[in-house]
Structure 1
Amino acid sequence: MAMKVARSPSDTASLTNCVFVNDSEYERISKYVKMNGNVLLTARGHPDMKPGTMGFSSIQRKWLTLSLNQQITLEPFNFSGDFYISSMTVLVDFLTKPRGHQTETYDTDKMAPDFTFQFRDLAVSLGQPLGYSFGEKKILSLIVKSMEVANIEILKGGSSNPSKSQKASKDAKSGVIMSNTQVIFERAEGAPLSLQLTGKSKGTQSRVSLINPDWNFQEMGIGGLDDEFSCIFRRAFASRVFPPDVVEEMGAKHVKGILLFGPPGTGKTLMARQIGKMLNAREPQIINGPEILNKYVGESEANVRRLFAAAEDEQKKAGNNSGLHIIIFDEIDAICKQRGSISGSAGVHDTVVNQLLSKIDGVEQLNNILLIGMTNRRDLIDEALLRPGRLEVQMEIGLPDEKGRVDIFKIHIAKMQQNERLDTGVDIARLAKLTKNFSGAEIEGVVRAAQSHAMNRVIKADSKVRVDAKAAEEVKVFMDDFLRALEDDIKPAFGVSEEDLEKHLPNGVVSWGDPVVRILEDATLQVQQAKVSKKTPLLTVLLEGSVGSGKTALAVHVARLSEFPFVKVVSPGDMIGYTEASKCMAIKKIFDDAYKSQLSIIVLDDIERLIEFVAIGPRFSNIVVQTLLVLLKKLPPLGRRLLVFGTTSQRDVLDQMGLIQAFNNVIHVSNISKCSELISALTDFDVFEASELDEIQKKVGKHRVWIGIKKVIVLSEMARQMPRHLRVTKFLTLLQEEGGFEGPSL
């Protein structure tokens, strides 16, 4: 039968998604027809249609690319075999795009039975568009995405064999909708964000994964932070990977803020930047804290509001379907200091904090933001910002352990290995052991310094600086280059300063007798306890004795032999000119730095000088005393261990102030008290010959000796300057004048 294309008789008829012919002609054709031999249609009769025409809706004409009055041919179609649709999936969009941004919510559990009621016995094909009116809501455009057909007996439950039923159902290109067809609705790609589907009949639509599929942890250049990143992912992103309806049914809320804190150079900024790259989210906004502040009244707060404007606008339009907006705050402590902590200011910091708090977790909460803050000073940030619901996930990015340092080295040498510029003799495991307490930035600095040593080998600096081109082509970085970089160029900010320790050990430790051996054994025992004991993460030991008895040298010597990655000497000489408050902050900072390392030793040298004690008055700094009392009892963070050595020549003074009780153990450092001990010390100095030592021993004899090792060193060096025949006499005279021994006048 040949017919011409015409318009559908009415809007209501158009929404049936059938084609219409005159009633008289409907009797001559079947219910299902094929147009031009390949398109399946469902036909109905209508009195308003002119004979010889077939009415198509505008949706159908667009789909079939038909024009009015176009000639078409029709032939009856009879289904055979499996043609009833058991289940189908349709894509949902608005037929006419709405002008406003008002969210339209559609309950798919109610749509599914309404859909099968309206379109029962309708023949549809894959990719076919359908006009659909659901209640009083906007007319929707549906597109058939997929379908499964089954035999009519199986569909009605006529088969009792489940395996047969499963085999009978199959994918198809066309079929007929039944009253019990299962319909799944999915939001079409490109549909307005204001269109929201709810209910169990909503499909697991092909959402874009939050995690970038090409993301690779090692290629991102973050090493040694596997555990930290896993924790951040679990807390901040796990809920965002789940379908929104599942999260809503669980009553779960997304984490809105992450705070990364820790020492400089450990990878906080790098991790935040790479998190932004890892996620399929909106382009991250990276803000340096001080950039928010503005000298004009209200502009600082306005800058904060602008950061959240895009997220607010999208949430109003799309609701739960809104994309994730990431805001990265570097140096967040610059604008989020504790409110009321800055005296004499105009209160700008306080109002900025208030504005930030209201945007993150205020009355109108945003659910499509992730704020990532970074700081070296977590203690400066306002407490209200750190509670759950705001910067909820607080992750310390600490110094990497040995495994982490291996990973970081591998990242930074990867390109050299790939291009065969790294010698095969470079031992990464050994380098990781040598770089205790190195941050990620410092390890990168070691690699760069090693490269500079390698390149310097091929630079000829004679009359002018030039590069040997042939040698440059073959340049490689060797293990010696890394060792030289560690020795000469890069020192860890939180490690052991050999120069600082050498300053307190100008003459080493003189083992002049059993008292020294006993002290070294006891102190070494404390070091071993600090390493292995799980019950004593904090150990404090006080070395007390006379002035010049070698207390500082012994403490520093033991600390140096411990091979702890962090050793720091708190010396009064380094704090000359400090106010009491500044001195307290400096001491506290050293303890805070020590907490960042797995194993740390602090030497509090000459405590009576640190607390500014003088006998006249007496006078001392109570603020410093109280600071030491608190810090000596403060346990380090979980998994960290701290050993504190203190030295003093005024035990009775510290006892009155309560400082003695703050130490777990007190070790007495004795002066040289025997002639044999004096001779043993002088033997180590290599000042006197054997005959001279015998003469000194005869002169001193059994007289009482009492002198500090430091004074013995000074007197022996003075005697060294004398002629040989006068050395012994000069030394003994000086020793007697100093009260080193009681005997007859020389």
Structure 2
Amino acid sequence: MIERMKVAKCPNEELSLTNCVIVNEADFSKKVRYVRVTTGDRRSFLYTININGGIRAGCIGFNIIQRKQILVELDQEIQVEPYNPDLTRQMIGTLVLEAEFLQKKSTTNEPFNTDQMAQSFLEQFPRHGYSLAQPLVFKFQDKKTLSLKVKEMEAADVEAVTTGKKGESRKLEFGVLTPNTAIIFEKAEGSALYLTGKAKARQSHTSLFAADWDFQKMGIGGLDEQFVQILRRAFASRVFPPEVVEQMGIKHVKGILLYGPPGTGKTLMARQIGKMLNATEPKIVNGPEILNKYVGESEANIRRLFADAEEEEKRMGPNSGLHIIIFDEIDAICKSRGSVAGSTGVNDTVVNQLLSKIDGVEQLNNILVIGMTNRKDMIDEALLRPGRLEIQVEISLPNEKGRYDILKIKTAVMDKHGKLQADVDLYELAALTKNFSGAELEGLVKAASSSALKRYIHLGSQIKVDPDAIDKLKITRADFIYSLENDVKPTLGTSDDALDKFIDRGIISWGNTRELLERGHMFVKQAKSPETRNMLCLLLEGAPTAGTSALAAYLAKNSDFPFVKVITSREMVGYTESSKCLRINKIFDDAYRSELSCIFMNDLEQLMGYSPIGPRYQSLVLDALYSLLSSSPPKGRKLLVICTSKRRSVLEELGLLSMFTAVLRVPYIKEVEDVRMVLDESQAMTSSEVEAVCQHISHGDVFVGVKKLMGLLDTMRVMKGVDPQKRVAAFCNLLEDEGIYTPTL
């Protein structure tokens, strides 16, 4: 609908400062926000309109600056038509404004804070449309009125938010301001205006919607996919103007939960999200800081966090800026209600207060709560439903590419200054650091640096530093390898010390041992195979001293799995049944965080507290084993469980035997030739002594476990230097006394 309208003055000064053209409601409905003005010489200009009864129907009011821009006089007829911008392509991501004093004679040396100016500009002109080179009037607080000119407009990068990849930068001739637009002020040439703050130069102001996602610069590596997921789900709706979101009938995402093992970068990611967004300064609070011993103070602390957002929401409505609140260790204050003992109920009321603020009766649409925890299972379920902390992103251990990215970031400074030796291969280190978290990789770089620095420190009566150390200092591959072997071990790594205790005597090959090991290694390969989807459970059973624990520990240690943990009854001495269950469940939960995991559970009967005297044990541990051994690991995770047992019949009676993929029997030694092999390999006796022992026991029956036999051989090591005949006789007597050898009558 094109109309011919007469040019008129703005009805008053207040309307002049809106930078809108003023029309009567008889000419345009309230649904029209922008108009295209065409002058007699066919030049077109776009403006935001303001409907006001102070202007007559058929007239359109311009302030004096606007009339000068389009070169029109009062009562001149011009062509006016509604304009509907494409909000998907004409949203302003970055707006550059050239500023100077409106009146040259009223200059001042008083500084103008550009950050405050940007915030005030967004508040005064919400959803206004602007054309390139358009002049504006801007009254900032109680200071002088400024003259602004639109110098440059860059479109918001919707693709960067939805995919995490930066699209091509697009310049705009006309664009619409959004609450997330980055405003940059530049001083006009020759102006006496004194600008301060971060928004006075393009390079110092980073907008979420036009940012180049440089993870190297942000200090985060290996979390590209998680960042894209958060950007796509949490911020896609915030790119568009409020009216678009209202038309879709949706609400912005208000909460994100980052969970995962310690040291994987949850806190760092949350802080970087706060920095990269064009929002108010994030409020970062540790969960325990909220709690207070005085009645009602904990809840008041929660309310204070949301006070600024509430005030701005009331004042600006949908045009309010984004307020970010970051809770570190959120599980400290958001445990499941009713789970905390005590009569005060402080924990429950804090959870209730937080729930009401995020998604209560009076909903806030200008907040983003980011929670971080290592224990997602402890958080109240009501907090995790849609509308609250609805986006839950697992920040897991980095894969090999992620580890390379992290190592590259952590060694970037030393590499830049030539302190990294050429033999350091980050790809090699990434392959060697399986199951290392980001924090542990940083610790590895620190440890390697310390190893290099140590070479140039001379210890004596005084500590002296080589004066040429600055030039000589280089961090080498050997420094990293030394630190890997001695200084830094991953929390979710292998329990080498615990496994070594089971195989401190080594693995002695005899008879069926080779076949058992071959079958065991076959199951290890099967567990690694991409075709294997479910958990594999392997049981090694045999009588006491048969060597089941040593064989199981050997298989676990040589599986080359990055995560290997040991569960024994020894480490749970004094535990209650429920404490045992929690401990076992915790190890399984940790195993699910690694792509390849192996759990060695030694002596299942002792873990359950079984006693042959009678059923003296409770069923809690048994129930836990049922549940854990029958459940599958999460998608993309593989788990091998190796268990040992001395009483197969007990497991069969309890129904646990059916949980195992395979059962391997570890037999006793019965043949003289097998005894010979054990004695030869142990090297505790000379060949002539071994021959004499075998000759003696060939006249009877032998029945012994390899562990028992190895223990008896320790006696022979003590008797070094004794006459060989006496040593042989003593050993043969030991065999008979222990019931291992029975002569044939």
**TM-score greater than 0.5 by the shorter chain:** yes
Residue matched to 2:415: 417
Q: Corresponding residue for 1:68?
A: none
1:743 Cα deviation after fit: 0.9
Alignment partner for residue 257 of structure 1, among 255, 266, 287? 255
- What is residue 660 of structure 1 aligned with on the other side? 657
Check conservation: 2:34, 2:46, Cα contact below 8 A.
no
Query: Quick one: which amino acid aligns to residue 726 of structure 1?
Result: K
What does residue 123 of structure 2 align with?
A: 193
Query: Take 1:447 and 1:121, find their aligned partners in 2: how far apart are those partners?
Result: 68
Q: Which amino acid counterpart does residue 52 of structure 2 have in structure 1?
A: F
Gaps of 5+ in 2: 86-90, 96-117, 132-173, 183-206
The RMSD of aligned alpha carbons is 3.6
Aligned-partner Cα distance in 1 for 2:423–2:122: 60
User: Offset of 1:534 from its aligned partner?
Assistant: 3.5
Which piece of structure 1 moves more, 336-345 or 187-196? 187-196
Distance 2:47 2:126 in 1: 20
Q: 1:109 to 1:498 in 2, by over 3 A?
A: same
TM-score normalized by the length of structure 1: 0.78
| Aligned twin of 1:548 | 545
Query: 2:393 and 2:238 mapped to 1: Cα distance?
Result: 19
Q: Provide the rounded CA distance (Å) in 1 between the counterparts of 2:423 and 2:688.
A: 54
Q: Which residue of 2 aligns with 1:362?
A: 360
Q: Give deviations 1:600-621, integer Å, cap 9, x for gaps.
A: 0001101111111112233123
Question: Deviation digits for residues 674-711 of structure 1, max 9, x if unmatched?
Answer: 11111111110112222222222222226332100011
Per-residue deviation, 1:146: 9.3
Q: Deviations over 1:220-245 (max 9, x none)?
A: 11111111111111111112123333
Distance 1:236 1:689 in 2: 74
8 Å Cα contact 1:258-1:370 kept in structure 2: yes
Partner of 1:577: 574
The answer for the alignment partner of 2:637 in structure 1 is 640
- Residue 556 of structure 2 aligns to a residue whose secondary structure is helix
CA 1:576–1:212: 2 relative to 1, 3 Å: farther
> How far apart are residue 720 of structure 1 and its match?
3.0
Q: 1:353 — aligned with what? A: 351
d(CA) in 2 for partners of 1:702, 1:136: 124
1:353 deviation in Å?
Answer: 0.7
> Which runs of no fewer than 5 residues in structure 1 stay unpaired?
1-14, 20-55, 64-89, 96-105, 148-170
Is the CA contact 1:126–1:174 (under 8 Å) kept in the aligned structure 2?
A: no
Quote the Cα distance in structure 2 between the aligned partners of 1:711 and 1:61: 99
Offset of 1:543 from its aligned partner? 0.7
Secondary structure of 1:328's aligned partner: strand
1:267-346 aligned at under 5 Å gives the runs 267-346=265-344
Tell me what 2:679 maps to: 682
- 1:590 corresponds to: 587
Report the AA paired with residue 683 of structure 2: D
Aligned to 1:134: 52
The Cα of 1:112 is off from its aligned counterpart by 5.8
Match of 2:78 in 1: 178
| SS class of match (1:543) | strand
> 1:616 & 1:129 partners in 2: Cα distance?
92
Could you tell me how far 1:212 is from its partner in structure 2?
Answer: 6.2
In structure 1, what is the equivalent of residue 472 of structure 2?
474
CA, structure 1 residues 60+487, in 2 after alignment: closer, same or farther (shift >3 Å)?
closer
Larger deviation, residues 211-220 vs 606-615: 211-220
Letter in 2 for 1:714: G
Per the normalisation by structure 2, the TM-score is: 0.78
Aligned partner of 1:163 in structure 2 is none
Change (3 A) 1:93 1:62: closer
Map 1:208-287 → 2, pairs under 5 A: 208=182, 209-211=207-209, 213=211, 216-287=214-285
CA distance in 2, matches of 1:124, 1:366: 47
Q: Give the equivalent residue in structure 2 for 1:32.
A: none
> 1:193, CA displacement in angstroms?
3.3
Change (3 A) 1:729 1:180: same
Asked if 2 retains the 8 angstrom alpha-carbon contact of 1:496 and 1:566, the reply is yes
SS of 1:742's partner is: strand
Q: Deviations over 1:464-497 (max 9, x none)?
A: 0010111333211011011111111111111013
1:598/1:640 contact within 8 Å kept? yes
User: SS at 2:228's partner residue?
Assistant: helix
Displacement of 1:400 in angstroms is 0.7
Q: Which residue is 2:103 aligned to?
A: none
Change (3 A) 1:93 1:521: farther
1:212–1:279 Cα contact (<8 Å) kept: no
Residue equivalent to 2:403: 405
Hey, what's the Cα distance between the residues in 1 that align with 2:646 and 2:15? 102
1:82-124, Cα deviation, whole Å (9 max, x unpaired): xxxxxxxx943999xxxxxxxxxx96644668x97xxx98999
In structure 2, the partner of 1:373 is 371
**1:387 pairs with 2:315:** no
Tell me, in whole angstroms, the C-alpha distance in 1 between the residues paired with 2:125 and 2:677: 92
Q: Which protein is bigger by CA-based radius of gyration?
A: 1
Contact between 1:124 and 1:174, CA under 8 Å: does it hold in 2? Answer: no
The change in CA–CA distance for 1:59 and 1:291 in structure 2 (over 3 A counts) is: closer
Deviation at 1:463, TM superposition (A): 1.7
1:601-616 matched pairs, under 5 angstroms? 601-616=598-613
Q: Which residue of 2 aligns with 1:620?
A: 617
**Does the CA contact (< 8 Å) of 1:442 and 1:492 recur in 2?**
yes
1:210, CA displacement in angstroms?
3.8
**1:368-400: CA deviations, max 9, x gaps?**
111000000000000000011110110111111
1:703-722 aligned at under 5 Å gives the runs 703-722=700-719
Q: For the Cα contact (< 8 Å) 1:126–1:173, is it kept in 2?
A: no
- The offset of 1:662, in angstroms, is 2.0
Q: Which residue of 2 aligns with 1:562?
A: 559
**Hey, what does 2:691 align to over in structure 1?**
694
Pair 1:410–1:173, CA change in 2 (3 A)? farther
- CA distance in 2 between counterparts of 1:128 and 1:233 reads 33
- Shift of the 136–663 alpha-carbon distance from structure 1 to 2, 3 Å rule, reads farther
Query: Distance in 2 between the 1:132 and 1:538 partners?
Result: 67
Structure 2 Cα separation of the partners of residues 60 and 582 of structure 1:
71
Q: 1:133 to 1:660 in 2, by over 3 A?
A: closer
